Chains A and B, each alone.
Chain A
Amino acid sequence: EVKLVQSGAEVKKPGESLKISCQGSGYNFLSYWIGWVRQVPGKGLEWMGIIYPGDSKTKYSPSFQGRVTISVDQSNNVAYLQWSSLQASDSAMYFCARSLDSTDNWFDPWGQGTLVTVSS
C-alpha cells in the first residue's frame, strides 16, 4: 500500500524554527514528486511547492519562496518542510502529497496532515 505518514501536531512561538516530515512507504520514493499544500482552517488549499526526491529538484510558489524550505532525505524516504522563523500567519494544516505518477502532476495519495499552531 502506498502511504504518506506525516509528523505530529506542533505548537510553536513566533520566531521559532520548525521542520515537519512526511514519510513515504510502499513505492519507490525516489521516483515520484512530493508536494506540500497549506490549508488555513476554514479556507481553501494553497500549493506551496514540490520536490523530486531523485535529484532534489524543487519548485516553489512565489507566495512561499524564501519563507519555507522543502527537502528530502533520500536514504530514509522522508520529505521535509521547514521554517527558520515562524510567524502567527503560518498557523495552518500542512499536507504532503505524492504525484500520481513519475511526472509532476496531480496528487494522490496525501498524508494525513500536520497542524501547526504559532502563538505567543
Chain B
Amino acid sequence: DIQLTQSPSFLSASVGDRVTITCRASQGINSYLAWYQQKPGKAPKLLIYAASTLQSGVPVRFSGSRSGTEFTLTITRLEPEDFATYSCQQVRSYPWTFGQGTKVELK
C-alpha cells in the first residue's frame, strides 16, 4: 500500500498567518493527490485535486503543489473558518489511502 505521511500533525496559527502542510508519499503517485478539509462533526470537503487544481467554490487562498513525491497545501492568509483538520488522499493505486491528518488550531 502507498503510505502518506503528513507533517506536522498539529499546527497552531493565528488569523492572517501563512500555513503550509506537507504530505509525503512512500512511492511515486504522479499528481494523483487530493486535499480535504474537515471540521468537527462534519463530512470532509474537497479543496484541491490533481495536486494543484482548486475545486470549484474553494477560496483562492488555498493552493496545492507537488515536488516529486512531496505535496504541499498552502493557505496564504488564514481565516477564522479555516481552523480545521486537513487530510491528503492518493488515488494513484488501490487501496487508496489517506494521510493521518493535520489539525490547524488557533494559537
Contacts and interface: CB of A to CB of B under 8 A. Distances in A.
A45 B89 contact: yes
Interface residues of A, number: 25
Given A44-B87, A45-B89, A110 B49 contact: no
Contacts of B101: 44-45
Given A44-B100, A45-B98, A47-B97, A110 B43 contact: yes
Interface in B24-43: 32, 34, 36, 38, 43
A46 interface: yes
Interface of B: 1, 32, 34, 36, 38, 43-46, 49, 55, 87, 89, 91, 94-101
Interface of A: 35, 37, 44-47, 50, 59-63, 95, 97, 100, 104-113
- Chain A contact surface mostly: strand
A44 B98 contact: yes
B99 A110 contact: no
A106 B43 contact: no
- In the A-B complex, the 4 residue pairs with the smallest Cβ-Cβ separation, listed nearest first, are A110-B43, A108-B46, A61-B95, A106-B34
Nearest to B44: A110
Contact of B43 (A35, A46, A95): A95
A47 B91 CA distance: 10
A47 B46 CA distance: 15
A59 B95 CA distance: 8
B91 A110 contact: no
Given A106-B89, A106-B91, 4 more contacts: A37-B98, A47-B97, A106-B46, A107-B36
A104 B34 CA distance: 13
Given A106-B34, A106-B46, A106-B49, A47 B95 contact: yes
B98 A46 contact: yes
